[in-house]
Amino acid sequence: MPRAADLFVSLLDAEQRAALEPLGDLQALLEHHIATGRARWPALDVAPEAFIVHLAARLPAADVAERALRNFCADDLYLTCACLGGDEHAIAALSREHTPLIERTLRAQRLPPALVEDLRQQIFDRLLLGRDDKAPELSRYAGLGKLSAWLRVMVARVARRQLEQEKKLVPVGDEQLADRLVQQGGAGAAVGGRRSATELDLLQAKAQYREAFKGAFKAALAELAPRDVMLLRQRYVDELGLERIAAIYRVHHATIHRRLEKVREGLLVLTKAHLERALSVSSDECASIIRLIQSDFDLTLQTFFRRLAPPSEGGA
């Protein structure tokens, strides 16, 4: 290969080359960066030429070029160079080294656990694959600070944008969703048009419990994260299939199925807790009340509180 310094200089513009002319130890400095990267990541196979090209592409404007070159975080740039080249060992190392930091940064934004999991995968996709015809986000790392610090800023920015988008799209405690899921069905007619005293007492009790249940359900819905409410709206109001929803979020439909199951189960737990407090009853009594009144609601709610359709379901 040509000398590292010759290759490096050939990739710069005229102003950058002029700025580095006084630097008498360019070859030694570049060899030091290569050695630093190899020492930190000995299992990675990065061609010296590829790493020099990677460094040259990240050299800033002429007025700060020399200082930046001397202070490059060569070990982090070596790792990102290998990742962007598709090295599986490098990608595994990136995940191993930085997943805990990404998760801590997401949790610091007070995101729900399900959203943390989803955004973590989205962030790795953005880092390595790009998005909407844009280059992988990792290619933007310039090596002028530690990769961990750069990732922390990038992840926080993604999380804030996600939260802002959800606040615009989904009001917590969506009345339309609650009304759609707990829409009351017909009460049914008594045989011969007459009801016994026992039947009338039962109907009165069911009417009381039904209103309490609707209130508990809406209170529980208001406690959900905006993203979870949006997911329920897409499934039960817009009536989108699992594969269609998966395409919107760019995940596998099995992921949407699992997430909906968690949301459904969590909403039922919250609803029961609110109902128990509203009626001052035990957990067993609450379960009996729900069984008593569930026939008074349409099939949507009954289906909602059962298992969801299997992941193989097609999009709507």
Render pLDDT for 64-97 as a digit per residue (tens, 0 to 9): 899 999 999 999 999 999 999 999 999 999 999 9
Q: What pLDDT shows up at residue 54?
A: 96
* Residue 110 shares a structural domain with residue 213: no
Of the residues 168, 189, 204, the one at which a domain ends: 168
* Residue 33 shares a structural domain with residue 182: no
* Residue 155 shares a structural domain with residue 30: yes
Digit-coded pLDDT (tens) for 237-251: 667 788 888 877 778
Radius of gyration of the chain (CA): 29
Q: Is residue 315 part of a domain?
A: no
Range of the domain at 259: 175-304
* Residue 267 shares a structural domain with residue 193: yes
On whether the pTM is more than 0.85, the answer is no
Sign of CA dihedral 54, 60, 62, 64: negative
* Residue 199 shares a structural domain with residue 214: yes
* Residue 61 shares a structural domain with residue 110: yes
Q: Is residue 310 part of a domain?
A: no
Of the residues 168, 193, 225, the one at which a domain ends: 168
Check: CB of residue 298 under 8 Å from CB of residue 184: yes
Distances (CA, A) of 233 to 60, 92, 180, 227: 47, 36, 9, 10
* Residue 66 shares a structural domain with residue 93: yes
Q: What is the DSSP letter of 43?
A: T
Candidates 256, 225, 206; CA nearest to 110 is 225
Q: What pLDDT shows up at residue 204?
A: 59
Q: Percentage helix, strand, coil, to 5, in the chain? A: 70, 0, 25
Q: Percentage of residues in the chain with pLDDT exceeding 70? A: 74
* Residue 163 shares a structural domain with residue 34: yes
